[in-house]
């Protein structure tokens, strides 16, 4: 017997190829994603818009996952970067300043400014952890919202609480995403066209996150999350790595904000409240911090499930009581909070945790 055969070298069996069922599964998922907006459009364009907002939340959750899940830095002001991206698009592509710049100038500008704000947030909080970090980031998010609410005098920059309207839609040449048209004999509405744009950018962000997680930078983030002192002892420049986490997470928020402004055609400070930051954080925690598929599932659940409850609560009350007795939004949030609480009690690591989180939980159960 040769040495290679003994130790499983070149004499051993070759590495198996990707199973056919994986390719079939990927093909089926692709087909479902391709026809999904047309299927939902049969029930009304409002469901396609709900799906579009779900994709925006996926982008935000993936961005926050870099800061919270990969680097272990609690951020309660992440929605500020979403606001920066949205207002940059609104100011550079609307009648507010008389500018109507193309997307390839506006979107990178929003991304760059969001990254700058991410670094500006990162510098003061380099030595903070836990509750203190959460308080500072919360304050940063509220400061940005208050600025957006008050920068209308003496120079009108953000138009104050009235917001900026008539924002230009996303367009590539003569192809306008906010306008319905017929392509190859198929009528495609504005929300359906935006769905494919958002899906493409979401897949790109997922690819970037996967590459980052398995890179040297991703491993440095993980080292800081587990033990910052040990990471320093290993020679990791924790300051630069933390700043990079804030900047990278902020860029995804800037992308989502720009797309939100172009899709809505209107932005105002009320869209970027603390509630939104907490909602995005809940998506990351519910799905499984640090696990990209889990974060995507958490974002989809927490963005679509409340809308499903909204459409069920009113008809259910009318069929049972003959009238609407309880406030639908109140019932929706009550059921939503109750379900979220149960998940946090019985699966604190999230619905779809990473392998590391699963091992940690098993070790704790064995020790208990």
Residue 4 has pLDDT above 60, yes or no: no
Top mean pLDDT of 83-92, 116-125, 217-226, 228-237 is at 83-92
Specify if 211 maps to a domain: yes
pTM beyond 0.85, yes or no = yes
Percent of the chain with pLDDT over 70: 93
Does residue 184 contact residue 200 with C-beta atoms inside 8 Å?
A: no
Query: Exposure of 27 by Cβ count < 10 A (0-12 exposed, 13-18 middle, 19+ buried)?
Result: exposed
Q: Is the residue at 302 inside a domain?
A: no
- Residue 168: domain span: 40-272
Among the residue ranges 53-57, 110-114, 223-227, 259-263, the one predicted with the least confidence is 223-227
Tell me, yes or no, whether 90 lies in a domain: yes
Is 366 a member of any domain?
A: no
Number of domains in the chain: 1
β-strands 181-183, 171-172 pairing = unpaired
Angle between helices 274-287 and 79-92 (to 10 degrees): 120
Assess if residue 340 is contained within a domain.
Answer: no
Q: How far apart are CA 245 and CA 123, in angstroms?
A: 12
**Structural domain contains residue 287:** no
- Least reliable range by pLDDT among 113-122, 275-284, 331-340: 331-340
61 vs 68: CA distance, rounded Å: 10
* pLDDT, tens digit, 9 for 90 and up, residues 148-185: 999 988 889 999 999 999 999 999 988 899 888 887 77
Average pLDDT estimate for 194-218: 94
> What's residue 125's pLDDT?
84
Burial of 320 (0-12, 13-18, 19+ CB in 10 A): exposed
Is 346 part of a structural domain of the chain?
no
What single-letter DSSP state applies at residue 165?
E
Query: Is residue 29 one of the residues assigned to a domain?
Result: no
């Amino acid at each position: 017997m040769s040495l290679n055969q003994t130790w499983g070298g070149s004499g051993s069996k070759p590495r198996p190829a990707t199973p056919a069922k994986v390719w079939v599964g990927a093909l089926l998922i692709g087909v479902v994603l391709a026809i999904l907006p047309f299927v939902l459009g049969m029930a009304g364009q409002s469901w396609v818009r709900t799906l579009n907002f779900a994709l925006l939340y996926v982008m935000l959750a993936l961005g926050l996952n870099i800061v919270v899940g990969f680097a272990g830095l609690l951020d309660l002001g992440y929605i500020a970067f979403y606001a920066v991206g949205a207002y940059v698009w609104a100011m550079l592509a609307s009648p507010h300043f008389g500018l109507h710049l193309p997307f390839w100038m506006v979107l990178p500008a929003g991304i760059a400014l969001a990254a700058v704000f991410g670094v500006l947030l990162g510098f003061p909080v380099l030595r903070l952890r836990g509750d203190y970090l959460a308080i500072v980031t919360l304050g940063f998010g509220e400061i940005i919202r208050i600025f957006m609410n008050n920068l209308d005098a003496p120079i009108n920059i953000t138009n104050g609480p009235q917001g900026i309207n008539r924002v230009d839609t996303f367009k590539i040449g003569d192809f306008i995403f906010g306008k319905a048209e017929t392509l190859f004999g198929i009528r495609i509405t504005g929300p359906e066209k935006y769905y494919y744009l958002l899906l493409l950018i979401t897949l790109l962000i997922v690819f970037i996150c996967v590459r980052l997680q398995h890179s040297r930078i991703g491993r440095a983030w993980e080292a800081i999350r587990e033990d910052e002192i040990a990471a320093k002892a290993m020679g990791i420049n924790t300051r630069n790595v933390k700043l990079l986490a804030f900047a990278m997470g902020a860029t995804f928020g800037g992308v989502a904000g720009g797309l939100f402004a172009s899709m809505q055609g209107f932005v105002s400070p009320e869209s970027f409240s603390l509630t939104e930051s907490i909602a995005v954080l809940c998506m990351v925690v519910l799905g499984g911090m640090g696990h990209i598929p889990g974060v995507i599932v958490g974002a989809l659940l927490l963005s679509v499930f409340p809308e499903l409850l909204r459409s069920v609560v009113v008809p259910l009350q009318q069929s049972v009581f003959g009238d609407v007795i309880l406030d639908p939004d109140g019932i929706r949030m009550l059921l939503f909070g109750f379900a979220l609480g149960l998940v946090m009690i019985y699966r604190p690591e999230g619905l779809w945790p990473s392998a590391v989180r699963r091992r940690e939980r098993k070790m704790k159960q064995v020790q208990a």
